[in-house]
Amino acid sequence: MRTLLATAAVALAGAGMMVGAAAQRADEPRRADDRTLVYADFENSADGRPISSRGGKLNLWGYQENPTFMSVFKGHPADNNTPQLVRTSKDDDNHAAAFEYELVIPNQWTGVTMEVQGHSGEPGSLPADDVSGFKFMNVQAYVTGTQYMRVEIMSNGQGINLHSGYPMTSFKLKEGFNTYRVRLSSFSQPAWVSETRIDPKDVLKRLTSVTFSVSCEEQCRPTKGLVIVDNIVFEK
C-alpha cells in the first residue's frame, strides 16, 4: 500500500484538495450552540494524533471471519492503531482523520473500523453525552474502494454491556468529499443480535463513541481504499 499522504494527495487533487502533514494545534474546540454539538472537527491533536473536540481518543481496528486472512489498515506512522491527522487543503489549516485499508479474501465478512470517543477518559469509564434530543448526525467523508459506510453508536461503561451488536446504520457514498446527514432514528441493532436487545434511544442518552466502518458483509472480494472523515456534528 502506498503511504497515506501520497495516496490522499493524488486522490483529492481532482477535487481541488490535497492532504499534507498537520502540525499539532492548541486551539479550543468549536463550541456547540443550542442546536448543534460539534463532536469532532479534528482541529486539535495530541502528540500529532487526531482527537475529538473534547479530547476523546480515536482508535482503529480490523475484523474478519477468517483469522488467517486479516484485514489490513494503515494509520499514524508512530501508532498504527490511531488514524493519521491530515490537512484537507493546501490553502487553509482544516484537518481531518484518515487511514488506508485493505479487505482480504477468503472471508465471508471483514472490515476496518475507526472509533471516535467523545471525551477523554479511561476505557470502561468514558464520560457520556446525551444526544437523544438531536435529530441528525452530519459527517464529511471521502471514501474510496467501497460504496457504503457503516455508522455505529456505542455506550461503554455506562450500564449498557454489549461486546458487539450496537445500533448501526449505513449511508451510500458519493464521489468526492461530501457531507452526509444521518437521521438518528435510523439506528437499529443488526438482525443477528438475538439475546441482548436494546433501545437505540438508550444508547443515544449515554453515548461514549461513534464508529465508522468500511466493510464487506457477503460475497467479499479484495478491496483497497482510503477513508478521510471530518466534521462530525449532531444537529437538531
- The pTM of the full predicted model, rounded to 2 decimals, is 0.87
The CATH architecture to which 28-73+100-235 belongs is Sandwich (2.60)
The per-residue pLDDT for 11 is: 52
The per-residue pLDDT for 28 is: 40
Taking the chain (236 residues) in consecutive chunks of 10 residues, what is each chunk's mean pLDDT? 53 47 39 82 94 97 94 96 90 89 93 97 88 97 96 87 87 96 95 82 96 91 95 97
User: Helix, strand, or coil here: 91?
Assistant: coil
> Nine-digit cell at 73?
489498515
Tell me whether strands 209-216 and 45-46 are parallel, antiparallel or unpaired: unpaired
Ranges of each domain in the chain: 28-73+100-235
Q: How far is CA 14 from CA 9, 17, 18, 173, 177, in A?
A: 9, 7, 9, 17, 11
The per-residue pLDDT for 90 is: 77
> Nine-digit cell at 45?
491533536
Nearest to 13 by CA among 181, 226, 223: 226
Residue in this structure with the C-alpha cell 467501497, named with its chain if needed: 146
The per-residue pLDDT for 235 is: 97
